[in-house]
Amino acid sequence: MQRVALGRTALAVTRLGLGTAALGGMFEAVSDVRADATVMRAHELGWRFIDTAPLYGHGLAEMRTGAALVKLPRDDIVVATKVGRVLEPASGAPPASIFKEVPPLAPRFDFSAAGVFRSHAESMERMQLNHVDVVHIHDPDDHYDDAIAHAFPTLARMRADGAIGAVGAGMNQTEMLCRFAGEADFDCFLVAGRYTLLDTSASVDLLPLCEARGIAVICGGVFNSGVLAGGDTYDYASAPSDVRERVRGLGRACARHDVPLKAAAIQFPLGHPAVTCVVVGARSPEEVEENDAMFRFDIPTALWADLRKENLLPAHVPNP
> Which tens digit of pLDDT belongs to each residue from 233-266?
898 889 999 999 999 999 999 999 999 999 999 9
Q: Which residues contact 13 (CB under 8 A, 6 or more apart)?
A: 3, 4, 6, 48, 49, 78, 276, 277
Q: Is residue 31 in a domain?
A: yes
Q: Which residues contact 91 (CB under 8 A, 6 or more apart)?
A: none
Q: Which CATH number covers residue 8?
A: 3.20.20.100
Structural domain that includes position 290 = 3-237+261-301
Q: Is residue 249 in a domain?
A: no
Beta bridge mates, 278:
16, 219
Q: Is residue 179 in a domain?
A: yes
What is the Rg, in whole angstroms, of the alpha carbon atoms belonging to the chain? 19
The model's pLDDT over 190-222, given as tens digits with 9 standing for 90+, comes to: 999 999 999 999 999 999 999 999 999 999 999
Q: What does the pLDDT read at residue 294?
A: 98
Count of CB atoms situated within 10 Å of the CB of 87: 22
Q: Is residue 243 in a domain?
A: no
Q: Is residue 312 in a domain?
A: no
How many structural domains compose the chain? 1
The model's pLDDT over 150-169, given as tens digits with 9 standing for 90+, comes to: 999 999 999 999 999 999 99
Of 238, 9, 240, give the one whose Cα is nearest residue 133. Answer: 9
Q: Which residues contact 75 (CB under 8 A, 6 or more apart)?
A: none
Q: Residue 80 corresponds to which amino acid?
A: A
Q: Is residue 11 in a domain?
A: yes
Catalytic residue among 56, 144, 195, 236: 56
In this structure, the chain runs to a length of 320
Q: Is residue 242 in a domain?
A: no
Q: What does the pLDDT read at residue 87?
A: 97
Confirm whether 234 is a catalytic residue: no
Q: Is residue 307 in a domain?
A: no
